Amino acid sequence: MNPKAKLRDLRTEQQNAASAALDTMSALEIARVINREDHKVAAAVEHALPQIAQAIDAIADAIRSGGRLIYVGAGTSGRLAALDAAECPPTFNTDPTTVQHVIAGGNKALGHADEYSEDSSASGRKDMAKRKPGKKDVVVGVAASGRTPYTLGAMEHACKKRAKTVALVCNSGSPMGALADIEIVIDVGPEAVSGSTRMKAGSAQKMALNLLTTGAMARLGYIYGNLMVNVHTRNHKLMERGLNVLEKAAGVDRQTASKTLDVADNQVAIALIMLKTGLSRTQACKRLKSVKGNVREAIAQGHLK
């Protein structure tokens, strides 16, 4: 597709024949039509897995080297990216600065639509400049169209500062894709409500964002097996989750898990290392720090000492 193609020519803007009479349907018929369209999302994401894998490795390498993942987007895309960034610290115990978001209109746009702000590439460049991206960082631009001026401006600044760039888009041949080091195209086709990219495109973006951060954190060892060993235990539910993780991963009873977690100052990863290696809390903390937070490596090296 020509990067200068008009909005009406984009795949995500086409009219969907399957839902052409949506306003004449019963509630169940509407739900069925939209659900049939939603079935196409996972398959579209599957086609993009090789490129998603490239981005996962790039993000893991960046964080391992002390860099950051910086998301940028506008509207639905920006809000989804902000959500993914916000959920990384409580899920993976990352520093809040490690995964960041930049959204057109600022944080007020998270709860209130602010579409006019997405038309300014200068604002995108200015907002990204405030984050001071560099060669250690990965900047992921998220836009269904692949041509949002704000997001393009932000990515242009990131490229200028030699950050690694990723375009997460739903249309091929986009300006963002042409600019980025890695282009992830998730072609979900026309929406059930024409142009409403909060629907299939938004679902595809959410799935891809989950893959990017979860994949990178797994590569970094912030997950043990498939267990959330870095979960914050800040309420009753999360404390129970942490105890369940210790019981499963260390093969201990609830009493032992609870006692060790208490000694570990409620840090599940530290408690697990203590249980698996016999190290003290102080030793476990040092061990985990020495391997940059990789829980499996900390346990393996703990056994060697």
Q: What residues contact 255, with CB distance under 8 A and at least 6 apart?
A: none
Residue 1 has a pLDDT of 43
Count Cα neighbours of 180 within 13 Å in the Cβ-side half-sphere. 32
| pLDDT tens digits along 40-71 | 999 999 999 999 999 999 999 999 999 999 99
Distance CA 105, CA 69 (A): 20
Number of domains comprising the chain: 2
Does one domain contain both 130 and 195? yes
Judge contact between 91 and 230, C-beta under 8 A: yes
Q: Which two tokens stand for residue 144?
A: 């269904």
Question: Is 119 a domain residue?
Answer: yes
Question: Is 37 a domain residue?
Answer: yes
Does one domain contain both 240 and 284? yes
Does one domain contain both 246 and 180? no
Between 150 and 114, whose confidence is greater? 150
Question: Is 2 a domain residue?
Answer: no
pLDDT over 50 at 82, yes or no: yes
CATH code of 152's domain = 3.40.50.10490
Residue type (1 letter), 261: L
Does one domain contain both 121 and 195? yes
Does one domain contain both 141 and 247? no
| pLDDT-wise least confident of 35-44, 127-136, 225-234, 272-281 | 225-234
Domain containing 285: what range?
236-304
Question: Is 13 a domain residue?
Answer: yes
Q: Decide which of 220, 246, 275 is a domain's last residue.
A: 220
pLDDT over 90 at 116, yes or no: no
Positions marked active-site? 87, 118
> For the chain, how far is it from start to end, CA to CA, in angstroms?
58
Does one domain contain both 244 and 121? no
Does one domain contain both 284 and 216? no
Residue 3 has a pLDDT of 45
Does one domain contain both 257 and 209? no
Question: Is 227 a domain residue?
Answer: no
CATH code of 277's domain = 1.10.8.1080
Residue 304 has a pLDDT of 55
